[in-house]
């Protein structure tokens, strides 16, 4: 059963509770709508998820013991089209986290100009604690529970933290077996041999660097070899951002993962570092680099800081010590509203997550379109389309920021919220 998120029963967390990502999402929303001449009914409508789904389901472990798991799927909006958003497997998954990520996906899709609303899903589990068989069983049972929600015209999941292309393949197959025919467009981020798209795994990292380049132009920093970059997180987003930046001649001086980080002020050999992490599972111990902690990485002397790990990394405690001139958010929600205020007051340019890391959903949209039309594009075409889309979104956000005298995050949310609000008011309220 799909349970609606009704205002009379909803708990709206205080925007001052930093540890709650939904509080941060609502605080950002409230800031942006102050600058928009929207109807009160519209403002109220957009604060709430359209629907929420919580399920407790069994998985039989390899030892024969049945274990119960909890999963979520939240649709924040379906005003502009089907809802779209990743599925994450993590012990840190909470309903408020999923609510926040779904809301951010709504703004991300609207800002990117693609016909989706925002969704997010997750299962409370450490995927590394499961065998391959257990992971498949968990995924297929969770997917089976989502059948009333997902579909190529209703809700299209994608990979996120703790999930990957294989997990998407299992979801696609489970859905297809249920309806009786193959439906590649039900998920994105799939393997290429069942309808995935070229360029999907690199897309988010590339979009982060494309936005970084646009931001550097604003600061008149046009020589790559003079620009130093520190990247927190070396998963899909961080590693691809580092690789793309390095290939363009930028100097990546520091990266980190959950175990720690490495730093070389003269620049890291990123391809060698990627090979090293493939072999060892971490950046820690990489040669010709000093060891640093994640906290130290955030406050290094560098031109660009890219937080590409978890939410809530830049806070009012460490924001005064950030030395980068530009922060480009590769992760979702890495900066709290309090940190936003401090960094903006200090003149640090923040390129927000809703803009910078939209490459993943943009190429997911490309994959969905290719699946629906059963006609696939080459990698060069995808990268050109992605770059053009990201440049257009960045410049529209920058123009809005300058026109209204606001920071880039507020400008991005203003643009996105306005697009969703206009569509809502045009469609009207049913019945």
| 275 pLDDT tier (thresholds 50, 70, 90) | very high
Q: Is residue 402 part of a domain?
A: no
**What mean pLDDT comes out for the span 74-78?**
98
Domain boundary among 321, 356, 391: 356
> Which of 4-13, 100-109, 134-143, 330-339 has the least mean pLDDT?
4-13
Q: What is the pLDDT of residue 332?
A: 85
Q: Let me know whether 237 and 144 are in one domain.
A: no
> How would you write 367-396 as a 3-class SS string?
HHHHHHHCCCCCHHHHHHHHHHHHHHHHHH
Q: Is residue 293 part of a domain?
A: yes
Q: Let me know whether 123 and 212 are in one domain.
A: no
Query: In the predicted model, is pLDDT for residue 273 greater than 60?
Result: yes
Q: Is residue 34 part of a domain?
A: no
Q: What is the pLDDT of residue 19?
A: 61
Q: Is residue 93 part of a domain?
A: yes
Active site residue 217: no
For residues 158-177, one letter each, b for 16 or more C-beta atoms within 10 angstroms of the residue's C-beta and e for the rest, the string is bbbbbbebebbbbbbbbbee
Domain interval for residue 109: 52-196
Tens of pLDDT, residues 172-193? 999 999 999 999 999 999 999 9
**What mean pLDDT comes out for the span 208-235?**
95
The chain-wide mean pLDDT, for the chain, equals 94
Q: Which helix (H) or strand (E) holds 232?
A: strand 228-232
- Compute φ and ψ for 334, nearest 5 degrees: -75, -10
Tens of pLDDT, residues 339-397? 999 999 999 999 999 999 999 999 999 999 999 999 999 999 999 999 999 999 999 99
How many structural domains comprise the chain? Answer: 2
Tens of pLDDT, residues 392-419? 999 999 999 999 999 999 999 999 999 9
The CATH number covering residue 207 comes to 3.40.50.720
Can you give the pTM of this predicted structure? 0.89
Whether 53 and 2 have beta carbons less than 8 Å apart is answered as: yes
Q: Let me know whether 181 and 276 are in one domain.
A: no
Q: Let me know whether 239 and 278 are in one domain.
A: yes
Domain boundary among 331, 356, 381: 356
The one catalytic residue in 84, 120, 190, 251 is 120
Domain boundary among 334, 356, 378: 356
Q: Is residue 37 part of a domain?
A: no
């Amino acid at each position: 059963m799909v349970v609606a998120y009704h205002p009379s029963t909803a708990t709206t967390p205080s925007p001052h509770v930093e540890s709650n990502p939904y509080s941060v999402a609502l605080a950002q929303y409230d800031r942006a709508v102050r600058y928009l001449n929207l109807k009160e009914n519209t403002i109220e409508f957009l604060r709430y998820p359209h629907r929420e789904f919580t399920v407790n389901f069994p998985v039989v472990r390899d030892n024969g013991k049945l274990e119960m798991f909890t999963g979520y799927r939240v649709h924040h909006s379906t005003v502009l089209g089907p809802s779209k958003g990743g599925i994450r497997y993590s012990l840190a998954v909470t309903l408020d986290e999923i609510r926040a990520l779904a809301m951010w996906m709504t703004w991300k899709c609207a800002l990117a100009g693609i016909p989706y609303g925002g969704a997010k899903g997750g299962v409370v589990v450490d995927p590394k604690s499961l065998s391959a068989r257990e992971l498949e069983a968990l995924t297929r049972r969770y997917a089976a529970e989502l059948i009333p929600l997902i579909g190529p015209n209703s809700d299209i999941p994608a990979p996120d933290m703790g999930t990957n292309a294989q997990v998407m393949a299992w979801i696609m197959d489970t859905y297809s077996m249920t309806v009786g025919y193959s439906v590649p467009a039900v998920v994105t981020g799939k393997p290429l041999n069942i309808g995935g798209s070229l360029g999907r795994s690199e897309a988010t990292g590339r979009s982060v660097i494309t936005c970084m380049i646009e931001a550097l132009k604003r600061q008149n920093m046009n020589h790559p070899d003079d620009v130093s970059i520190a990247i927190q997180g070396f998963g899909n987003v961080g590693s691809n951002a580092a690789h793309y930046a390095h290939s363009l001649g930028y100097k990546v001086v520091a990266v980190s993962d959950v175990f720690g980080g490495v730093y070389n002020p003269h620049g890291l050999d990123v391809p060698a570092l990627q090979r090293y992490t493939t072999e060892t599972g971490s950046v820690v111990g990489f040669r010709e680099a000093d060891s640093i902690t994640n906290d130290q990485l955030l406050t290094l002397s560098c031109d660009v800081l890219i937080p590409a790990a978890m939410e809530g990394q830049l806070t009012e405690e460490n924001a005064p010590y950030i030395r980068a001139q530009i922060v480009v958010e590769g992760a979702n929600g890495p900066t709290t509203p309090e940190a936003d205020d401090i960094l903006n007051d200090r003149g640090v340019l923040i390129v927000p997550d809703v803009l910078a890391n939209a490459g993943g959903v943009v190429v997911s949209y490309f994959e969905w379109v290719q699946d629906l039309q059963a006609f696939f594009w080459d990698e060069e075409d995808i990268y050109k389309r992605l770059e053009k889309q990201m440049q257009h979104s960045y410049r529209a956000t920058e123009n809005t920021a300058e026109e209204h005298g606001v920071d880039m995050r507020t400008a991005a949310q203003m643009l996105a919220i306005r697009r969703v609000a206009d569509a809502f008011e045009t469609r009207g309220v049913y019945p």
